[in-house]
A and B are shown apart, each in its own frame.
Chain A
Amino acid sequence: MTLPRETVLDLMGLADGMLEGDAKAKAEQLVASNEEARLLVDTLRASPVGDWVRESTDRQASAAVAGVADSVMARLAADASGAVEGGVVRMAPWVRRGSRRGPAVVAGVGAALVLAASIALYVRSGSQRSDEELAPVASVAVPPVGVPSVALPAPSASASQAEAKTAAAGGVEVNAVEAPSRAVSVFRIPMGAAAAAANAPHPSSVVIWVEEDTGTK
C-alpha cells in the first residue's frame, strides 16, 4: 500500500462517517479514482472486528455491572448519612479526636473514682471509730467457729448495740459501708476474753475490706 499516512487516516475517517465538507468530498473523489483507496475503505467498512469488539465488550459489561447502580446509590446514601465511605466505617471527627485521648480519659476517670472511694472509705471508717453511735447500713454477727449461736441485729441497729450483741455472742461484726462504685465491708473482730486476760493493747481489731473489682477482694 502506497498511500500517504494522512490520506490513509482520512480514508478511515470516511469509512467511519467522520468526515464532512471538503474533506469528505476529497476523500470520496480519491476512492472513486484510486483502486487502492477504494479497497481500503471497503475493507474498513466490511470489517467484522468492530462488531466483535462491540458484542464481546457489551456482553461482558452487561454481566459485570449487575448491581453496580445499587452499590453506587447505597454508598451515596451511606455518605449522606456521614457514616460510611468506601466500605469503611468512619467515626465523626469529634469522636476521632476523642478516641486519641481515650486511654488518658479512662485512666483519669478511674483514678478519680479510686480517690473518691478512698476518701469516702477513710471518712466513714474514721467517723465510725470515733463515733460509735452511727448506725451501720447492715450488720451481721458471725459467730466464731464452734460457737452455735448467731446474732443478727436489725439493719437499723446502732453500732453499739451490734457490738454489744457481738461481744455477748463472741462473734465478728461485719458492717457494709456505702461507697461510690465500691463495695466496702468493715469487720470488727473482738479479741475475746483470752485477749483481755493477756492485757492486749486493743480490745478488738478492725478490718476494712474494699472490693477492687467484681468478685475480687
Chain B
Amino acid sequence: MGAFRRLVERNERRAFAVAFALVRDENDAREIVQDAFLRAFKSLDGFQGNSAFFTWLYRIITNLSIDLKRKPGRLVVELDEARLAEDASIEFPAVGRPEGTNPAEDIRRGEIAARLQIALDALPSYHRAVIVLREMDGMSYDEMAEAMGVSKGTIMSRLFHARQKLQRALADCYDEQIGAHPPVVARTSAGETPSEANERGGES
C-alpha cells in the first residue's frame, strides 16, 4: 500500500492535468483521477510493464472520461472562443514568474492565464490532451501515440495544430513575450493544410 501511495503521489498532478484537459471540469477531473487510480490498483496484476505506468493510467483516464461524457443527461459541449470570451474575467492560475514580484507583471500573467484557458477550451479534447501530455509531461511522440492509441504521425499532426491554434489565440501575448508575431503554417506547398480529419484518426 505504501508503494502504491507513492505511485499515486508521483502521478496525481499530471493525471489530473490530463483528466481536466479531457473533461474541463475540476470536480469531474478529480473524481476521474481517483477512480483511475483505484482501477489501476485493482488491475496491477494485469499490468505487464511493457509500457510506462502513466501511459497505462492515461488509457484508464481516457476511458473514464469517455464514460463520463456518455452519461445520460450530461451536457457535452466543446466550448468555443466566442462563448468563453464572456468569461475572461474568471481568475486562472497565473503563468510566468512567481507572484508578488511585480504587480503589473502579476496582472499581465493573470491575463495570459485567462486567455490561455479560453484558448484551451476552444480546442478539441484530443488537441488539449496532446498539448498537455507534451508540454506538462514532456512525453515523447511515441509514448503519446501508445497512450492515445494512434499513430506517431497523427500525434505530430495534432500537436502541430494545437500549437498553431494556441499561438493564433494568444498572438498579442506572444508579441509581448518575444517581440514577434508567431509564424503560422497555414498552407503547404500543395495548397492544403494538414488534414484535421486525418488527425482524428483513431479518436474515440
Say yes or no for A5: interface residue by CB 8 A criterion.
yes
Interface Cβ pair total, 8 Å cutoff: 156
Question: Which of the four size classes fits the interface of chain B?
Answer: 35 or more
The reply to whether B153 and A9 form a contact with Cβ atoms under 8 Å apart is yes
Find the residue from A46, A48, A71 having the highest chain B CB count within 10 A.
A48
B interface residues (Cβ-Cβ under 8 A, vs A): 1, 4-5, 8-9, 12-17, 20-21, 26, 29-30, 33-34, 37-38, 41, 92-96, 112-113, 116-117, 120, 131-132, 134-136, 140-141, 153, 156-157, 159-160, 163, 166-167, 170, 174, 177-178, 180, 182-190, 192, 194
**How close is A12's CB to chain B, nearest CB, in angstroms?**
5
Which of A53-61, A124-132, A193-201 lines the interface with chain B? A53-61
Chain A: residues with Cβ within 8 Å of the partner, total of 44
The reply to whether B177 and A56 form a contact with Cβ atoms under 8 Å apart is no
* Alpha-carbon distance A72/B194, docked complex (angstroms): 42
The reply to whether A1 and B187 form a contact with Cβ atoms under 8 Å apart is yes
**How close is B1's CB to chain A, nearest CB, in angstroms?**
7
The reply to whether A3 and B34 form a contact with Cβ atoms under 8 Å apart is no
Which of A62-70, A94-102, A109-117 lines the interface with chain B? A62-70
The reply to whether B30 and A76 form a contact with Cβ atoms under 8 Å apart is no
Across the interface, name the chain B residue whose C-beta is closest to A74: B34
* Alpha-carbon distance A16/B142, docked complex (angstroms): 13
* Alpha-carbon distance A57/B18, docked complex (angstroms): 9
The reply to whether B94 and A65 form a contact with Cβ atoms under 8 Å apart is no
* Alpha-carbon distance A72/B42, docked complex (angstroms): 12
Across the interface, name the chain B residue whose C-beta is closest to A42: B183
Say yes or no for A31: interface residue by CB 8 A criterion.
no
**How close is B137's CB to chain A, nearest CB, in angstroms?**
9
The reply to whether A2 and B166 form a contact with Cβ atoms under 8 Å apart is no
The reply to whether A4 and B189 form a contact with Cβ atoms under 8 Å apart is yes
From A12, A51, A61, A75, B17 is in contact (CB under 8 Å) with A61
The reply to whether A48 and B178 form a contact with Cβ atoms under 8 Å apart is yes
The reply to whether B30 and A12 form a contact with Cβ atoms under 8 Å apart is no
Say yes or no for A50: interface residue by CB 8 A criterion.
yes
Residues of B within 8 A of A143 (CB): none
Residues of B within 8 A of A57 (CB): 17, 20-21, 132, 135-136
Say yes or no for A49: interface residue by CB 8 A criterion.
yes
Say yes or no for A47: interface residue by CB 8 A criterion.
yes
List 5 A-B pairs, Cβ < 8 Å. Answer: A5-B188, A39-B183, A48-B174, A68-B8, A76-B41
Residues of A within 8 A of B188 (CB): 1-5, 8
Known A-B contacts A9-B156, A52-B113; the reply to A72 vs B95 at CB < 8 A is: no
* Alpha-carbon distance A50/B37, docked complex (angstroms): 27
**How close is A200's CB to chain B, nearest CB, in angstroms?**
78
Across the interface, name the chain B residue whose C-beta is closest to A80: B1
Across the interface, name the chain A residue whose C-beta is closest to B198: A5
**How close is B179's CB to chain A, nearest CB, in angstroms?**
10
* Alpha-carbon distance A18/B134, docked complex (angstroms): 11
From B135, B141, B153, A54 is in contact (CB under 8 Å) with B135
